Structure 1
Amino acid sequence: MRPFLLLSARPEVEAVGPEYTSFRRAMGLDAGRLEHLRLDVDPLGDADLGRYAGVVVGGSPFNVSTPEHGKHAVQLRVEADLARLAEHGLRTGSPVLFTCYGIGVLTRVLGGEVGTEHGEQAAAVELWLTDAGRTDPLTRGLPPRFDALAAHKESTSRLPAETVVLAASATCPVQLYRAGARVYATQFHPEVTPADFVARAQVYRHHGYFPASELVAVSERLTGASVTEPRRMLRRFVELADAEPTA
């Protein structure tokens, strides 16, 4: 069976390894089936994306809404690579899943807008499926309402044309959408357990996702959360990708 690819864009070494482990476990893959490329270190270059059953994109402390002149050269390169990935998925119908930072890149590529009016501090957030979400192949097996872990300073302000919202929350109206046949994007982090998210919160406590002085309270809140359905969604992503050959 063909491998999957995880693209990371986290410069923090202490976060990028655990992110890979979280995705691998959530997707139910062994290390031999989930390859890993750190885009902050190595460019996508001439990678043959067609050799993968599917591609997933992790989060990042980068902000898409930062003015172009204020972005580091690494971030500009990462966003160009992710734009190339989006175009590949839309052109070929290959399964691609962008998460958190990635949804902002995809939204921009598709002509939508990203802003800061719907940010969410690190917490478990209740999501609900839209009518489209209840029938979409990726999400139709999920309950109508479920919790997911989120922490972001920016989100989709204006949805791109010809995309379909699959899940929303009270604080962030675009939590999950589909573009084309099999390109998906989540604002939340589908790969993490509460324990994973506590560890990540410690790494990013000074990055503005919550007041650093509230780390203990945030950790306790996350530890008490019950979050299972987003990881089921990742397993479903793998099942769907394995079931149909891609271009």
Structure 2
Amino acid sequence: MPLVYMCVRPQRGAADAEYESFRSMSQVGGDQLEMHDLVHDPLPPDAFERWSGFLVGGSPFNVTDPSSTKTDVQLRLEADLERIAAAAAAGTTAALFTCYGIGVVTRMLGGEVSRRFPEDTGPATVALTPAGEHDPLFGGLASRFTVLTAHKEGSGATPPGSVLLATNEACPVQAFRVGDWLYATQFHPEASTHAFVERMEIYRNGGYFESDDFDTLAGRVLASSVTEPGRILTAFARG
């Protein structure tokens, strides 16, 4: 069975580009990674029979948005993501959630997501924990490496039942695992520096950074060496 990229971005151009980033970094063909637009189409009843694993992309949505301000689409989408996370935590499928998705998983597990741990748009350095150094997906990475981030919320502690895999000072929970098959990262493992800059252009007025700072931030991203995060996806795809 193929893997599936779960699109949770309303902006179709950003979603299509993110799919291609996931496919490229996973080193799989198009027939091995399908795309499902969760913004417009609910999780199908046979999802766990149709796909062998789930890659969940980022989104301009925030878990910490007040429920009263969330659209019906966002509320339904988050419920669908929780179903995927619960199945992966139970070991009935595999899933890797990124950025916005780590907040959904954290909340589902009873952890706290807040606006106290944002990170600027651009490169950041994360370090593996001892558990991360021995993890099946993270264990082959450098002990410290550069990632690409852009988020308004995060967590200071891992949720119950999870194992911290990567951390940094600005946002202590950069990656964790639940059981053997549920992974979540705060950073973006899929984006190359050029793809990330293209995404920055789409979200230039999205509140992640001052639009006048675009050229400076883009230059910082393009000058970065981001070699390790994509290896997480390759290892995940190889199962």
Provide the TM-score with structure 1 as the length reference. 0.94
Tell me how far apart the structure 2 counterparts of residues 93 and 227 of structure 1 sit (CA, whole Å): 32
Contact map agreement 2:27 2:234 (CA 8 A) in 1: yes
The 3-state SS of whatever aligns with 2:214 is: helix
Q: Deviations over 1:129-188 (max 9, x none)?
A: 001000011111001011111100001244211111000012110000001221000000
8 Å CA contact 2:127, 2:168 repeated in 1: yes
- Specify the alignment match of 1:193 in structure 2: 192
**Letter of the structure 1 residue corresponding to residue 54 of structure 2:** V
Q: Closer, same or farther in 2 for the Cα pair 1:162/1:58, shift >3 Å? A: same
Q: Which residue identity is paired with 2:77?
A: V
Instruction: Extract unaligned runs of 5+ from structure 2.
Output: none
How many residues end up aligned between the 2 structures?
Answer: 239
CA RMSD between the two structures: 1.0
CA distance in 1, matches of 2:34, 2:105: 22
Runs of 4+ in 1 over 3 A off after TM superposition: none
How much does 1:93 deviate? 4.2
Match of 1:3, as an amino acid? P
Q: Secondary structure at the match of 2:113?
A: strand
- Aligned pairs for 1:87-98 (under 5 A) are 87-98=86-97
Please state how far the C-alpha of 1:92 moved relative to its aligned partner. Answer: 2.9
> In structure 1, how many angstroms separate the alpha carbons of the residues matched to 2:41 and 2:196?
26
8 Å Cα contact 1:8/1:38 also seen in 2: yes
Match of 2:173 in 1: 174
TM-score by length of structure 2 reads: 0.97
SS in 2 for 1:209: coil
Question: Which residue matches 1:45?
Answer: 44
Q: 1:101 is matched with which residue?
A: 100
CA deviation profile, 1:188-211 (whole Å, cap 9, x unmatched): 000000000000000001111111
Q: Percent identity, aligned pairs only?
A: 44
1:71-86 superposed matches below 5 A: 71-86=70-85
Shift of 1:48: 2.8
Residue 84 of structure 2 aligns to which amino acid in structure 1? L
Q: Which runs of 5+ in 1 are unaligned?
A: 241-247
Q: Amino acid of the residue matched to residue 64 of structure 2?
A: S
2:116 aligned with 1:117 = yes
Q: Which residue of 2 aligns with 1:218?
A: 217
Is the contact made by 1:5 and 1:52 (CA closer than 8 Å) also made in structure 2? yes
Letter of the aligned partner of 1:207 in structure 2?
A: G
In structure 2, how many angstroms separate the alpha carbons of the residues matched to 1:65 and 1:47? 30
Looking at structure 2, the residues matched to 228 and 92 of structure 1 have their Cα atoms a distance apart, in angstroms, of: 29
